[in-house]
Amino acid sequence: MHKAYKVSILYFSIFTLMLLVSGIMIFESKIGFEVNRALAYYIGDKELFLTAKSNSGILKSALPHIFAFALLSMVTLHFLVFTRYRNKSIVKILLYTILSAQFFEIFSPFLIINISDIFIYLKIVSFFIYVCMIPVVLYLLFDSIAQIKFR
pLDDT tens-digit map of 1-33: 577 777 888 888 899 999 999 999 999 999 999
Does 151 score more than 50 pLDDT? no
Q: Which pLDDT score, from 0 to 100, does residue 15 have?
A: 93
As a residue count, the chain comes to 151
Question: What is d(CA 45, CA 122) in angstroms, rounded to the nearest whole number?
Answer: 20
Is residue 82's pLDDT more than 90? no
Domain tally, the chain = 1
C-alpha of 38 from chain center: 17
pTM of the predicted structure, to 2 decimals: 0.85
Quick: pLDDT tens for 130-141: 999 999 999 988
Q: Which of 135 and 147 is assigned the larger pLDDT?
A: 135
59 vs 77, residue with greater confidence: 59
CB atoms within 10 A of CB 137: 23
Mean per-residue pLDDT, 54-73? 93
Distance CA 143, CA 7 (A): 13
- Look at 77-86, 88-97, 102-111 and tell me which has the smallest mean pLDDT: 77-86
Q: Which domain holds residue 107?
A: 3-147
Give residues with Cβ within 8 angstroms of 131, minimum separation 6: 20, 23, 24
Measuring CA to CA, how many Å separate 123 from each of 12, 25, 27, 108, 115?
27, 16, 11, 6, 14
